[in-house]
Structure 1
Amino acid sequence: MIPSDVLLVALLGFVVVTALATAAARTLLATLVAFAAYSLGLAMVWVFFRAPDVALTEAAVGAGVTTALFLLVVRRATDPETGRLPEAPAERMRPASFAVAGLVTVGLLLTVPALPAVGAADSPAFGAVTEFYLADTVDRGIDNAVTAVLVVYRGFDTFGEIAVVFAAAVAVLAVLGRETVV
């Protein structure tokens, strides 16, 4: 194994361990810490795959904002007199849930050998469609190819992403208690 393969296996192992720790944690605080570590592990995986924009988003949103919001919710849900969270009914994990999660994981892992190598020149990302996007971007008079793809070719998808960000902003304001009713 080359060192980059060892690093990838270690990162993926870390992600799996933190995911299991998140699912198996007994306290809410332990769950939040494990979830934040999981998000940071995923961010490191994205850095390994040379996707720094996705890595920064995962680190900021997954580990940063989401963890902060969860902590705010925990703080608001804590009883001021006792300083404790309300007791939740104890639930056990169902074996069927583990079986379904295991089957999905195995199914996804079976597709990994079909993926092209990272940065391979013969991967679909470097095919004829790339040349079309670059040429069409110039024909449309757009200077930035990434902007052209986001606006022209993925406009509806980008609109959906904007709607999700808006809904998240509204949820943050609601959690912080700063929503206004008109």
Structure 2
Amino acid sequence: MNITSFLIYCIIVTFTPGPTNIVILSTVHHLGTKKALEYTYGATIAFGILLVISAMLNTLLITIIPKILIVIQIIGSFYMFYLAYQIYKADTSKPTVNQSGTFKSGFLMQFLNPKVLLFTMTVIPSFIMPHYTAMPAVTISVFTITLIGFLAFITWVLFGSIFKKFLQNHSKIVNILMALFLAYSGIMIWL
């Protein structure tokens, strides 16, 4: 497994702006750190649950239909290219939407967030399953990915105002770099 591509993919997808991170940023600014942390805990638990569901479904599918892995890898690669394009063309000048900042809203947001749903359903079969199918390895991978997601959420909580200013001041450069790294990860699935 190409650990570098795996980590780049996980870090870029979890740390770059998306619905959850934008709501966290908005919650920090409008309701404070305590509410943002509450929201973050809910989002993290749901993120982990989605990864567990993905690992279970993908383990079942790879056992029953081994050829499905190549299809999921293709979907995962195209999803990475799509995200790279979305990051490249992102407009950070639009205002964020305020949410209630509760554990429940953070939890439910993950199940409605297309970025999270597609990520959790593609990261396991694209990076883990081709190399590791044993339950301990998959479990460690799920825990690692969940931890990366939690660190991303906490980063948005703790440095929300700094990130917001930085992104506004250097948004094009940041978007181009993140898009290039994400495209690199999509290519590395095949090498």
Shared fold (TM-score greater than 0.5)? no
TM-score, length basis structure 2 = 0.36
Which structure would you say has the larger RCO, counting Cα contacts within 8 Å and 6 or more residues apart? 2
TM-score, length basis structure 1 = 0.37
Q: Which has the larger radius of gyration?
A: 1
